[in-house]
A = this chain, B = another copy of it.
Amino acid sequence: MTIGEFSKKTGMSTYTLRYYENKKLIVVLRDDKGRRVYTEKDIEWVQFIKRLKETGMKLSEIQKYALLRYEGEKTMSERLELLEKHYHFVVEQQKKWDMYLQNLKQKIIWYEKEIQKNKTP
């Protein structure tokens, strides 16, 4: 699959895909003309990168994981460690967001009451 097709399937711009390759986040095969050839496996991998990114992992951190991944089996426990660290980060983040959501709810309720008050003075 070409970079254009891959771009459509993953929803990432070709700019970003080349940028990620440059950053060693994705290793891409080339055809005999030197053009990028993406596989189905790359889709999974890019979706995973997107999830990590969306949950607040920096590209530099994702890069670490990617490098280990392309080093092969012997880096599995290191990768596990990175993922566990991120898992805990996300869990903590969720807790914080839960609190903020409560706070926001209170504020919304306060506003609703105030507005109601002003409607019927």
Interface, chain A (partner B; CB < 8 A) = 48, 51, 54-55, 73, 76-77, 79-80, 83-84, 86-87, 90-91, 93-94, 96-98, 100-101, 103-105, 107-108, 111-112, 114-115, 118
Contact = CB atoms under 8 A, between A and B. Distances in A.
Nearest to A108: B83
Given A90-B101, A97-B55, A101-B94, A118 B73 contact: yes
A98 to B, nearest CB: 8
Given A91-B101, A104-B83, A104-B90, A115 B55 contact: no
A108 B80 contact: yes
In the complex, the count of this chain's copies comes to: 2
A73 B121 CA distance: 14
A90 B105 CA distance: 11
A104 to B, nearest CB: 5
A115 B51 contact: no
